[in-house]
């Protein structure tokens, strides 16, 4: 009887710790999305800044390269960084993404961007909830989705030269399915990587930032794929 009580107490402690950790992850992710959204809206509605940033053909390329460099650096080195450095790099990446996303307000109507964001938020929430609560091990699904993601990247690069409308839509719908699945898989993986007793430590904060970056990437890529389908062009 006493052993059973200890076991249940241990399970409850782990569940409580996982819940606390995931709240931190979602808070960091929300902060990143907020910065991206505010930055995108501000740049798009400030013609002087927008024209300076996007009027030069080299600057957008520099921004994209900087984004790629930052995300790989943060993902691979976050645990070796200080908390302030990890925080700064994550928020800087979110800000740079907002600058590049400002072009979306030029291509698509604000109403369609808003409605797509709401659909993305609903889909993401549902799949993240599934990943958090399911007892099924999603590891095999994650391996399959990762291979699909590699294929998606290769197909996207090929279609930059082919400009095939059919391949464009195949990539788009496949991308939606892949990032919907990755949301559930990544949520489960992040929940399980939390270390019991780490609360309040620098490692806990950096793990939360790393998890937030992963879910942030799932969200914005799902949003971009859905915007291709739902977005009304100006």
- Per-residue pLDDT tens over the stretch 26-73: 999 999 999 999 999 999 999 998 888 888 888 888 888 899 899 999
Tell me the two tokens of residue 25.
Answer: 């992850």
The answer to whether residue 100 scores a pLDDT higher than 60 is yes
Q: How confident is the model at residue 5 (pLDDT cuts 50, 70, 90)?
A: very low
The answer to whether residue 6 scores a pLDDT higher than 60 is no
Structural domain tally of the chain? Answer: 1
First-to-final CA distance of the chain: 68
pLDDT the model gives residue 57: 81
The answer to whether residue 152 scores a pLDDT higher than 60 is yes
pLDDT the model gives residue 34: 97
- Report the distance separating Cα 45 and Cα 102, nearest Å: 9
Who's near 31: CB < 8 A, 6+ residues apart? 91, 94, 212
pLDDT the model gives residue 202: 84
pLDDT the model gives residue 59: 85
State which residues form the domain around 194: 2-230
Q: How confident is the model at residue 88 (pLDDT cuts 50, 70, 90)?
A: very high
pLDDT the model gives residue 42: 94
The answer to whether residue 92 scores a pLDDT higher than 90 is yes
**By the 8 A CB rule, do 21 and 207 touch?**
yes
- Report the distance separating Cα 229 and Cα 225, nearest Å: 7
Q: How confident is the model at residue 9 (pLDDT cuts 50, 70, 90)?
A: low
Who's near 185: CB < 8 A, 6+ residues apart? 131, 138, 139, 141, 142, 145
The answer to whether residue 195 scores a pLDDT higher than 90 is no
pLDDT the model gives residue 104: 93
Phi/psi of residue 57, each to 5°? -65, -20
- The answer to which of 149-153, 165-169, 196-200, 203-207 has the lowest mean pLDDT is 196-200
- Report the distance separating Cα 62 and Cα 227, nearest Å: 24
**By the 8 A CB rule, do 181 and 145 touch?**
yes
How wide is the angle at C-alpha 20 spanned by C-alphas 16 and 26, nearest 5°? 140
| 109: number of Cβ within 10 Å | 13
């Amino acid at each position: 009887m006493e052993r059973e009580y200890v076991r249940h107490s241990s399970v409850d402690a782990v569940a409580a710790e996982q819940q606390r950790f995931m709240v931190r992850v979602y808070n960091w992710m929300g902060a990143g999305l907020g910065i991206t959204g505010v930055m995108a809206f501000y740049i798009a509605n400030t013609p002087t800044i927008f024209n300076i940033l996007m009027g030069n053909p080299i600057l957008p390329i520099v921004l994209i390269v900087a984004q790629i460099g930052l995300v790989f650096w943060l993902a691979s080195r976050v645990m070796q960084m200080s908390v302030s450095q990890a925080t700064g790099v994550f928020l800087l990446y979110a800000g740079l993404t907002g600058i590049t996303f400002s072009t979306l307000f030029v291509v698509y109507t604000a109403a369609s961007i808003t409605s797509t964001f709401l659909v993305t938020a609903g889909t993401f929430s549902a799949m993240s909830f599934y990943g958090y609560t399911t007892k099924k091990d999603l590891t095999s699904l994650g391996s399959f989705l990762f291979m699909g993601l590699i294929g998606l990247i290769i197909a996207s690069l090929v279609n930059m030269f082919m400009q095939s409308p059919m391949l464009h839509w195949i990539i788009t719908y496949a991308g939606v399915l892949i990032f919907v699945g990755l949301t559930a898989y990544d949520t489960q993986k992040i929940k399980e990587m939390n270390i019991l007793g780490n609360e309040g430590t620098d490692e806990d904060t950096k793990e939360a930032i790393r998890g937030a970056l992963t879910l942030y990437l799932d969200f914005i890529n799902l949003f971009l794929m859905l915007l291709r389908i739902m977005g009304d062009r100006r």
